[in-house]
Structures are given as structure tokens and as C-alpha cells.
A and B are shown apart, each in its own frame.
Chain A
Amino acid sequence: MKKKLGVYICACGGNISDYVDIEKVREAVKDEDCLVLAKTTMFACGDTNQKDMEQDIKENDLSGIVVASCSPKLHLTTFRGVSERAGLNKYNYVHANIREQGSWAHSDNKVGATEKAINLVKAAIAKARLAESLEPIIIESKRSVAVIGAGVAGMKAAISLARMKDEVYLIEREGKVGGHLSALEKISPEGTDGRELLARLEKEIAAEPNITLLTNAEVTGTSGNIGDFKVDVTIKGSQGEMVKQFVAGSILVATGFNSYTPAEGEFGYSNIKSVITLPEFKALISEGGKADADGTMRLYYNNREVQSIAYIYCVGSRQVKGENKYCSRYCCTAAIQSSLDVREKFPNVDNFHFTRGVRTYGKQELIYKESNDKGDVYIQFPDKKPPVVSEENGKVLVKAIDILSEKSESEVVADLLVLVTGMVPDSDTALGNLLKLPKGRDKFFNEIHPKLRPVETVIDGITIAGTCQGPKNVAESVNSALSAAAKSHSFVSLGELELEPIVAYVDNDTCNWCTACSDVCPFSAVSMIDHNGKAVAQINKSTCKGCGMCLPVCPSDSIELISFTNKEMESMIDVLAQ
């Protein structure tokens, strides 16, 4: 029976339509064979459009649909869901990627991008004409998760997973857990003590029988797939190294961040003694105080009393010249919190903040207000004219243009200059290379989509949490950890996973059993059977993984792979060649 197909071309709110003339694409494909409707839509993934599609499928009795939109990594499952809800087998849905491999890749060539989109949609229609209804394959998924990194995100994720009854391997490369948490005296905006929080989390982990904590441990090898990852962990101990292997259904990566280290001479760093970074300043607040005769606490740095502190914000973040274009999000709040802490502990200290516009978003705005109320001075300098720092009589002279005072020049002579340094990706890239986790422009690990699939990576079964994904404060890290834990849990909780029913099959009439297919199959899925007195190959559907390695070696071309048949592949090639 002839197929009845519907095609939807998405504008993606301009992401596609700004570069691809989607109306032209619709015009070019609307008369293709089997097509009964062709529509453009502002957001194909939007609820309204999904409902319209369901209605179209039912009303027009469609037997297949094509959506031309973003990468199938984002919305293949969305539109398969639409098909199923409308009573259409989901494997009759075909996706055309005209955003990542269309409008975005060719945003420099609108005509070329449009022509490419037309061909991609026609190729998808060609495939949809031949698509068949299929049923998914069910595989076992191990109910265990490897959580890599035991900072606040990894610890919270591990606890959350363990409470959902998953077996958890919490792997930390350092000798102790907590990451940067132990260095936080007071966490905004609630004023939580980082060390108290860490102690609480350690206690909770110790109380969870489902968590196996491995410290001084590094992941040195992985193999397998979602549902069945084999993870090699090298553990360093007093008696040398040992390697342990365990199986995890999912891997949750929470390897954290490094603090930015300013270059030599950047705002006087390492050339002027009284210039330190924010993490160094936090340590100084904890350790650098002495009480004088009347009991007043005084702050000392390099044996000199500190009475005035200047802060320069956005060091290593939002760089005009430099690689780190991103905002590190946490540092405005962390710097202001530290300035409040220092004022509380050492009442005779004055604070001068040189900012590029304070970003204490949300509830954190309250500490900015508190800081202003207590008399801290804020000077906002222009992006392209950073403050100039020099040494003067053992003190630090900071000169900056204040855009809030008609660009007049302000000068502060301070006893100490704190460079408010942001977050940079973990300098240890071994794990990222091992798992082949994609990184974004900022060099942090990349999620599939920041809103739609915010903790998933393109590697099925591997999720990311916390600051390995990008700058976050503690609360945001915890939220992302809980989200990643829920997602990893969803991969393992049922004990089974649905896989694509893509397996190879043999044409018994043309097969002459030469063993070529069984020789190359890495899964021993091919065996010989008797077919009407003739020896032929048979492929075991439950062991075949659908890699297709047997396809090109068959001398009589008797093997086909479901969804990748000669007809389907060649019909696409023919269309794309036009």
C-alpha cells in the first residue's frame, strides 16, 4: 500500500529560518511522491504543534512523518512520542537535521543552507517512504551508577541515587571528599558553613550501605555501553596501586573546576606581594587574624596589618582579550560574601570593589544590599578599560574609571588587592578524553541542550553535574546533581532498557554460507543453519547489536540491516546527489 506522509519544517524561532528559507523548502518538497501534507512551524517541538501533528496523523490517516528541525539527539524521541500518541508505529518517523547540519553550519551561506535543507528533507522523505513498523529490543540494565568526583555535586548525587535504591560507586581522585567545599566558610545567601555541610554529607554517605566510596581512586579505563559500562578504577594505597573493575548501568561525571590562576603581572599578580586571588583571600580570612591588646581582631598579610582592601572583579572571566568569555556566576557573590566576612571579623577594615557590574542574581542581591548598607564602596569600570595596578610604598594603588561617576578616575591605595578570580575547567583532562565527552566553547563539558536535556551528554548513559559543566554556585551544583542523579536513575531503575530494533538479517535464497559474516561478527551472533537442504547464515536477533560489520564482507550481498537497507540507503544517496 502506498504510504501517506506528512512533513513539518521547523523555524526553530529563527535558529533555522534566519538562514534557511523554510517556505522555499516547503514549496520544493510539497509535491514529492507519497506526501499528503507539508507544513512549516515556528517550533515543531512546542506542545501546540505536537497536538496539531497528532491530529494531522489521525485526520489524514498518515502512515509516516518527517520533521526537519534540530539534531535528532534532541528531538527524535519527542516526535517518536507524537507518532505513538497518534497511534502510528514510532519507527515510521524520520528526522531531518537542518539546524546543526544546516542553518548553523552554513549560517555564512543562506542560499547554500536552503538548498542543502531541501535535499536533506527530500532524503528523509525517501527514507520515510520505505520505513517499516518495528518493535524495540529490551536489554538488561545494571542497577548501579558510577559517580566520578566527590565534591558537593558528586556527594549529593551519590546520596540521592542511593536513596533511590541504586548501587553507587563514588570515586574520588583525592584522599578526601568535599572538593572546594571545605574552603568555604560561609555560603551565600543562607550563610551555611561549607565545612558543616561537608561533615553532614560525609555522615550521610557513611550511613548509606548502597554507596561504595573509593578515595585516591581514578577511572583509568571504561568499555561497554549504557546499561553495562565496565569501569576500571586504579586505587593508590600505602601498598601501591591496585585496579578494580565494576559494572555500572550509568556514569555520572562531577569532576568540578579549577580556580583561575592569573598570569604573571595580570593586575600585578606575582609581581606585587599584596596582590592575591579570591581563594587565597578566603584562606587569609580564616588564618590571618590576630587579636590586639584590647581584644580587637586585626588582619595581617605578610606581617603587615590590612586596613583597606581593594577587589578587582571578573579576573579570568568575561575576558575582553582572552579565552574565558563566560561569566563565572559565583564570584561576585563569593567576593561580596568574603568582604562581609572580613568586615565582621575585622571591624577596622574598609572594602573597595572594582566591578564590571555586580551579578548577585536572585536572593544573593540581599548580600549586595547589606554590603552597600555597611559602607563598602563600589566602582564600576568600563569593560575595555580595566583598572591599572601599581605598587606604592608597599601598598597597592588601583586606578580606574568609574562609569557611574561620569567616567571620572578613581584611585584607591589599599593594603591588599584581591583578584576576584573565576572558574576554569578542570586541568586534568584524562577523564574527558577517556569518556570522549564533548566540550563546549568554554571548554567545560557540554550537555545535549541547556534547557531540554541539561544533564545528558551525547554519550548514552553518561550524565554530567556541577561545575564540570560550567560555573555554578553551591546551590546550583546541588540542583544539577539531583537532576543528573534522577536522569542516571532513569537509565538503571527498571533493570532494563529499550534499544533500537536494528539487527541484521539474511536473504536465505542468495546466501551461500561462506563464513565471512561469522568471521567478522564481534558478538558471535552468526551461526550456520540448514535451509531447505542448503547451508545458510542465521543471525541471532538477541545477540546482534546492529553494527553492520557483516554487511560489507558478504560476497553475495545477502545481508541487510533494518533501517539501513540497500533500498533505504540508496534512495537517500540518489536524492542527495541531485
Chain B
Amino acid sequence: MSKRSAKILVFSTEKISDPAIDMAGLLKLHYPPEVFTIPVRCSSGIKPRWILRAFEKGFDGVFIAADGSDCSYGESCTEKTGHLVERVHEMMKSQNIEPSRLRMAAICSVCSESFVKQVKSFNELLLKQEIQ
């Protein structure tokens, strides 16, 4: 293995998923330190160009810690974030970037364990891809 952990950019949401990621730290639920978080207002407000920029600049994976049905901006968030991911997957294909390098999961404000589980399994997947 060329490196111990993959470099992952997480887009978290200020009010919902970021508190869960904070609590993962509070509970000392360890995850790889190459996981970096940038908080945004709502997961359906992430621009495709930011995601593509992350790949261009060297991130192995991008993880969207979505609000899910808890989004304070409305129920349409899940669907809109889903569409966004679909669209970016298509863009990634056209740029020969493996679509599985972009992952989305709903992380609510109490989903600390789920977040850690998700980023750990994503990290393993990305490392496996790197070997191949």
C-alpha cells in the first residue's frame, strides 16, 4: 500500500452533519487524519466545480455528509443532493474519474458512529482502487 490513508474531502453541513462529526471527535471515535471537512450551509448547495476541483487538486475521494430528511431548508434537500451527485457522477465519467470516488450518505446530528463507519469504509475502497 503506497500510503496509510486516502485523502478525503468531506462536505458537511453546518447545522446537521458537522455537529455529528464534532461529536465523533468528542467520543474519540477515530478515523483517518487525511479526512478534511469543509462545512457548507446545505448539502444541496454544493457546486459540481468544487467537487471536480478537489479531484483535480489531488483528493482521492469526496464524501458528501448530506442533511437527509433533517434539512432545515426543506424536504427537497435529499432529492436535490441526489440529483447533484448523479450529475457530478456523469461529469466524472466524462473526465475519466471513477464515479465511486464521490460518495454521499445522510449524516444527521447524532450520526457520529455512522459517519466514522462511512469514512472508514470509503477510505478502504479508495485504497483498494489505488492498488488496482
Q: Does A34 contact B (CB under 8 A)?
A: no
Q: Does A28 contact B (CB under 8 A)?
A: no
A438 with B23, Cβ < 8 A, contacts A522-B76, A573-B54 known = yes
Select B34's contact among A108, A116, A436, A437, beta carbons within 8 Å.
A116
| Of A59-67, A79-87, A158-166, A546-554, the one with at least 4 CB within 8 A of chain B | A546-554
| Of A94-102, A180-188, A403-411, A416-424, the one with at least 4 CB within 8 A of chain B | A94-102
Residues of B within 8 A of A573 (CB): 9, 38, 50, 53-54, 57, 59
| Of B13-21, B97-105, B121-129, the one with at least 4 CB within 8 A of chain A | B13-21
B109 near A459: Cβ-Cβ < 8 Å: yes
Measured in the bound complex, the distance between the Cα atoms of B19 and A334 in whole Å is 36
- The 0/1 profile, CB within 8 Å of B marked 1, for residues 534-578 of chain A is 000000000001111111100001000100101001101110111
A116 with B20, Cβ < 8 A, contacts A99-B25, A436-B70, A552-B47 known = no
Q: Does B108 contact A (CB under 8 A)?
A: yes
A551 with B109, Cβ < 8 A, contacts A101-B21, A112-B34, A522-B76 known = no
Residues of A within 8 A of B20 (CB): 438
In this complex, what residue of B is CB-closest to A436? B109
Which of B15-43 touch A at CB < 8 Å? 15-16, 19-34, 36-38, 40-42
User: Shortest distance in angstroms between B75's beta carbon and chain A's nearest beta carbon?
Assistant: 9
A437 near B110: Cβ-Cβ < 8 Å: yes
Measured in the bound complex, the distance between the Cα atoms of B33 and A103 in whole Å is 10
Select B74's contact among A113, A439, A522, beta carbons within 8 Å.
A522
B41 near A458: Cβ-Cβ < 8 Å: no
Residues of A within 8 A of B87 (CB): 552
User: Shortest distance in angstroms between B123's beta carbon and chain A's nearest beta carbon?
Assistant: 13
Measured in the bound complex, the distance between the Cα atoms of B32 and A549 in whole Å is 30
Residues of B within 8 A of A574 (CB): 53, 57
Residues of A within 8 A of B49 (CB): 557, 566, 570
Measured in the bound complex, the distance between the Cα atoms of B9 and A304 in whole Å is 69
A576 near B36: Cβ-Cβ < 8 Å: yes
Residues of A within 8 A of B44 (CB): 547-549, 552
User: Shortest distance in angstroms between B15's beta carbon and chain A's nearest beta carbon?
Assistant: 7
A576 with B9, Cβ < 8 A, contacts A436-B108, A570-B53 known = yes
User: Shortest distance in angstroms between B65's beta carbon and chain A's nearest beta carbon?
Assistant: 12
Measured in the bound complex, the distance between the Cα atoms of B26 and A295 in whole Å is 59
Q: Does B89 contact A (CB under 8 A)?
A: no
Select B48's contact among A120, A547, A552, A572, beta carbons within 8 Å.
A552
A100 with B26, Cβ < 8 A, contacts A113-B33, A577-B58 known = yes
Q: Does A107 contact B (CB under 8 A)?
A: yes
Q: Does A286 contact B (CB under 8 A)?
A: no
Measured in the bound complex, the distance between the Cα atoms of B28 and A102 in whole Å is 10
Residues of B within 8 A of A548 (CB): 40-42, 44-46
- The 0/1 profile, CB within 8 Å of B marked 1, for residues 104-123 of chain A is 11111100110110011001
User: Shortest distance in angstroms between A133's beta carbon and chain B's nearest beta carbon?
Assistant: 20
Measured in the bound complex, the distance between the Cα atoms of B28 and A108 in whole Å is 9
In this complex, what residue of A is CB-closest to B14? A72
Measured in the bound complex, the distance between the Cα atoms of B23 and A459 in whole Å is 13
Residues of B within 8 A of A572 (CB): 38
Measured in the bound complex, the distance between the Cα atoms of B18 and A460 in whole Å is 13
Residues of A within 8 A of B28 (CB): 104-105, 107
Select A549's contact among B15, B36, B54, B73, beta carbons within 8 Å.
B73
In this complex, what residue of B is CB-closest to A460? B15
B41 near A502: Cβ-Cβ < 8 Å: yes
Tally of contact residues, B, Cβ under 8 A: 51
Which of B56-98 touch A at CB < 8 Å? 57-59, 70, 72-74, 76-77, 80, 84, 87
In this complex, what residue of B is CB-closest to A108? B30
Residues of B within 8 A of A576 (CB): 9, 36, 38, 59
Measured in the bound complex, the distance between the Cα atoms of B5 and A552 in whole Å is 30
B7 near A577: Cβ-Cβ < 8 Å: yes
Measured in the bound complex, the distance between the Cα atoms of B18 and A459 in whole Å is 11
User: Shortest distance in angstroms between A409's beta carbon and chain B's nearest beta carbon?
Assistant: 39
B41 near A438: Cβ-Cβ < 8 Å: no
User: Shortest distance in angstroms between B50's beta carbon and chain A's nearest beta carbon?
Assistant: 5
Residues of B within 8 A of A458 (CB): 15, 19, 22, 109
A552 near B45: Cβ-Cβ < 8 Å: yes
In this complex, what residue of A is CB-closest to B55? A577
A551 with B45, Cβ < 8 A, contacts A105-B30, A107-B30, A436-B70 known = yes
B38 near A100: Cβ-Cβ < 8 Å: no
Residues of B within 8 A of A570 (CB): 49-50, 53
A552 with B70, Cβ < 8 A, contacts A101-B21, A520-B80 known = no
Centre residue among B47, B80, B110 by max chain A CB count within 10 A:
B47
Which of A212-248 touch B at CB < 8 Å? 225
A547 near B19: Cβ-Cβ < 8 Å: no
Residues of B within 8 A of A439 (CB): 110
Q: Does A73 contact B (CB under 8 A)?
A: yes
A547 with B9, Cβ < 8 A, contacts A105-B30, A436-B110, A552-B84 known = no
Measured in the bound complex, the distance between the Cα atoms of B40 and A246 in whole Å is 30
B33 near A547: Cβ-Cβ < 8 Å: no
User: Shortest distance in angstroms between B47's beta carbon and chain A's nearest beta carbon?
Assistant: 5
Residues of B within 8 A of A550 (CB): 45
Residues of A within 8 A of B41 (CB): 502, 546-548, 561, 564
B53 near A73: Cβ-Cβ < 8 Å: no
Measured in the bound complex, the distance between the Cα atoms of B34 and A564 in whole Å is 23
Measured in the bound complex, the distance between the Cα atoms of B98 and A288 in whole Å is 74
Measured in the bound complex, the distance between the Cα atoms of B45 and A566 in whole Å is 12
User: Shortest distance in angstroms between A226's beta carbon and chain B's nearest beta carbon?
Assistant: 9
User: Shortest distance in angstroms between B35's beta carbon and chain A's nearest beta carbon?
Assistant: 8
In this complex, what residue of B is CB-closest to A99? B25
Measured in the bound complex, the distance between the Cα atoms of B27 and A71 in whole Å is 14
In this complex, what residue of A is CB-closest to B75? A522
A522 near B30: Cβ-Cβ < 8 Å: no
Question: Can you pick out 11 interface pairs between chain A and chain B where the beta carbons lie within 8 Å of each other?
Answer: A100-B22, A105-B25, A106-B30, A106-B31, A438-B23, A545-B73, A547-B42, A548-B44, A552-B87, A573-B54, A573-B59
Contacts A100-B21, A123-B38, A566-B50 supplied; 4 other A-B pairs, CB < 8 Å:
A100-B25, A502-B41, A546-B41, A576-B9
> What 3 pairs between A and B have smallest CB-CB spacing?
A548-B45, A112-B33, A577-B57
